[in-house]
A and B are shown apart, each in its own frame.
Chain A
Amino acid sequence: MKVIISSQGHHEDDLVDVRFGRCAYFAVWDSNTNTFEFIENKGKSSDHGAGLAAAQQVIDLNGDALLSERLGPKAFRVLDQSGIHLYKCHGMTLRDAVERLKTHDLEMIKEAYR
């Protein structure tokens, strides 16, 4: 399984970024190797449509799940139709987030943040 997480930094003990579209990095966790890989978020530097640029990047990464906190209306519309499972994290490290996902301890994101 491949899990993508909006992240404030590029270490597994960094926190999940509350923001999706303008988060600093995307952490990509691979369940086979139990390792994290970090990719810069292209949306971060967009003048317009940061959420959509980020969503496209997440879709292109072809993950099974996305862990974040707040998805804007446009990003949610796209991700909701992409087949990726969306989970909500609040104030936890990337490692914690993955552990909680494994134990089915995360809430699903069912609507855009307002």
Chain B
Amino acid sequence: MPEQKIVITIDNDGGISAKTSGFKGHSCLEALDALLDLDGVVSNVTKNDEFHQQQIMPQTRTLEIKRKL
């Protein structure tokens, strides 16, 4: 059973950035949305190569988001 991991960093102004690993494709965004209420306040989403390999090696995907204040 793969481990899902999210690292949330809260900056000194209350802004948030988060990195995920172990999620399948867009499920990482859904997981972050469930945690952080992202609707409309995400300033930046960076998907790396692993994100696009979603059905092949899900446990190595990572995704990084930054949320506006």
Instruction: Tell me if chain B binds chain A.
Output: no
Q: Enumerate chain B interface residues (CB-CB to A < 8 A).
A: none
